Chain A
Amino acid sequence: MRLQDTEVVDTFAEAFPMWGARIVTTAESPAWAQKAARSLTGFATSVIGCKCEAGIERDLDLSETPDGRPGVSALLFANDREGLAKRLVERIGQSVLTCPTTACFNGLDAPETVDVGGQLRFFGDGYQASKVLDGRRYWRVPVMEGEFLVEERFAVAEGVAGGNIIILGRDVAGALRAAEAAAAAMRAVRDVILPFPGGIARSGSKVGSRYSGLIASTNESLCPTLRAQVPHTDVPEDVGSVLEIVIDGLTLEAVREAMARGLEAAAGAGATHVTAGNYGGNLGPHHIELRGLVPDLRDD
């Protein structure tokens, strides 16, 4: 299949369920809200090594935050509900509670909730106090700077992780240019995050390894340097670099929309090929076909 001058492989991305939450962090200035959100979502590229995946969704207007201050919305995903609850407590406790002038709120509307502020309140060592407004409980935790305000319960919902597109270019510069354009286009989609640095991963992995105990290792079939060395390669002759964009979202529709926008943008920015990662359909229940994602996609 082709989209503009880009060859699109007729394949699918294999995504799987993960539990997600939306965290709204506010502060006295957009800069401090950003600092807290970056720390909150740091070291959260993959559940393989970080126990969760997280990213900044978007900046929030003053009218969109509960306290009318500058805010940032972030999404955090983990394998199960219990794990997500633990990661929320750890990360909000270490990255938002500690950050000057911040407050932290649940930003998701879903029936299931987990206790977050109700755990963090203990930092107050008995001096904490709660407030209930409009059916929501908030905890006021006294800190040296003043007071940290955190919502007691955060909604969690089953989302979709592992949506992806893989962008191939003639060299690193070309692949990176196309991937940057794709990531920028994807960031405009609500309800999704791109958990890797800058939204882009250079080290897509396969399941397992020749070394026991390693659950993931380099995807040699997409490594250009191994093209002449491995029994099977998916790297075409004119390709010198491959990059992947992983998408986690609160809904399958949002992940599909992000993939579509990324595909279009990558093609417009000169990707030689675009493909997607899957495990033969055996791992995840969600198969997002590249065919049909974009109306202008045509068969060769």
Chain B
Amino acid sequence: VALTLTLREPPTVPLETEGLSPDGLAARSRGEVEALTVWHGNGRAQVGDFFAVSGDGGDELRVEGDLRRVKFLGAGMSAGRLVVAGDAGMHTGADMSGGELVVEGDVGDFAATGMRGGRLVVRGSAGHELGGAQPGEHAGMRGGEIVVHGDAGDRLGAGLRRGLIAVAGRVGEAAGLRMLAGTIVSLGALGPHPGAAMRRGTIVAMSQVTLLPTFSYACSYQPPFLRLYLRHLRALGLPLTDEQIAGRYARWSGDALELRRGEVLILES
């Protein structure tokens, strides 16, 4: 049985749980896990004050309960598998560099900011700034994959430097804001002004998009690399059709206020 942390009751103020990751707990006894420090508001507390700990240490960790006010779940994880059975709070998976983090419900704002590797899977929806920059930093996600089966908020992938973010549902405003490279794929409606101030990188939209006037139409074609990406995402469970994988895409280059080396690819109906 995987090591399981069950939240007894929702905290009254946010609970910060940096270090609660499969690789962080793998070699620890149950007592050691219970004694780990968490921050309840501005007060120091222990894991055992909030969570019932069961199961064995291993490379899989399961966290259960109403976790909407629990922040930094899986932050900094580098290996193993973390399953959040329900919703997760802000900063989930922040700065993760490896392993797989699966959130079976929704995830709060700033999830996977500063991500460098591994994979975050959100079965529900994600908040704002998904895969963006850590507060105070310029560059966002630097590697890894984020797959969202629901919707995502504004400024998804802000400052994205490398990696893949894919969203099955709607995406908010200014996806890929200031992005430096990397790939964003939106299967649902994509909010206005994607790629604002982008330098390089790719934003893929499957529906019409309101672009900034600093993007210019190049041509309609079948991007060879996109087949690899979309087939990869279909293998990860996103509902991609053969028509999308083999489809023709309008290529818009921008942002002309920057290098004009980024692209927004829009599926032609």
Residues 126-152 of chain A, each 1 if its beta carbon lies under 8 Å from chain B, else 0 = 000101111000101000001111000
Asked if A67 contacts B221 (CB within 8 A), the reply is no
Q: Are A134 and B221 in contact (CB under 8 A)?
A: no
Q: Mark B152-163, 1 if CB is under 8 A from A, else 0.
A: 000000000010
For the complex formed, measure the closest distance between the CB of A151 and the CB atoms of chain B, giving whole angstroms: 10
Minimal Cβ-Cβ distance residue in A for B163: A132
Determine whether the beta carbon of A133 is less than 8 Å from that of B162: no
Q: Name the A residues within 8 Å of B162 (CB-CB).
A: 132
Q: Is B227 close to A, CB under 8 A?
A: yes
Is A198 an interface residue when CB atoms closer than 8 A count as contact? no
B202: nearest residue on chain A (CB-CB)?
A131
Q: Is the CB of B221 within 8 A of A133?
A: no
Q: Is A256 an interface residue (CB 8 A)?
A: no
Binding stretch for chain A, among B27-35, B57-65, B228-236: B228-236
A-B contact count (CB 8 A): 42
Q: CB distance A67 to B231 under 8 Å?
A: yes
B164 located at the interface, meaning its Cβ lies under 8 Å from any Cβ of chain A in the complex: yes
* CB of A42 within 8 Å of the partner chain: no
Task: Give the interface SS of chain B, mostly helix, strand, loop or mixed.
Answer: mixed
Flag A65-85 by CB within 8 Å of B: 1 or 0 each: 011110000000000000000
A51-71 near B? 1/0 per residue, CB < 8 Å = 000000000000000111100
Residue of A68, A131, A134, A149 with most chain B CB atoms under a 10 A cut-off: A131
A: number of interface residues (CB 8 Å): 16
Expressed in whole angstroms, the minimum distance between the Cβ of A121 and any Cβ of chain B is 13
* Complex Cα spacing A69 to B231, Å: 11
Contact B222 A68 (CB under 8 A): no
Q: Do B222 and A146 touch (CB < 8 A)?
A: yes
Determine if A138 and B222 form an interchain contact, defined as CB atoms under 8 angstroms apart: no
Instruction: Judge whether B232 and A149 touch: CB under 8 Å.
Output: no
Which B residues touch A140, using CB under 8 A? 223-225
Known: A129-B261, A146-B222. A68 touches B227 (CB 8 A): yes
Partner of B232, one of A69, A103, A134, A147: A134
CB within 8 Å of B: which A94-140 residues = 103, 129, 131-134, 138, 140
Q: Are B227 and A131 in contact (CB under 8 A)?
A: no
Residues 189-214 of B at the A interface (beta carbon under 8 Å): 200, 202
User: Chain B contacts of A138 at CB under 8 A?
Assistant: 225, 228
A67 engages B224 (CB within 8 Å) = yes
Residues 226-253 of chain B: 1 if any A CB is under 8 Å from the residue's CB, otherwise 0? 0111011000000000000110000000
A–B complex contacts, Cβ < 8 Å, 7 sampled? A103-B224, A131-B202, A131-B229, A134-B232, A138-B225, A146-B222, A149-B224
Query: Assuming A134-B232, A147-B221, A148-B224, what are 13 further A-B pairs, CB within 8 angstroms?
Result: A66-B228, A67-B227, A129-B200, A131-B228, A133-B164, A133-B228, A133-B229, A133-B232, A138-B228, A140-B223, A146-B221, A146-B224, A147-B224
User: Taking beta carbons and an 8 Å cutoff, which residues of B are in contact with A?
Assistant: 143, 162, 164, 183, 200, 202, 221-225, 227-229, 231-232, 245-246, 261
Residues of A within 8 A of B (CB): 66-69, 103, 129, 131-134, 138, 140, 146-149
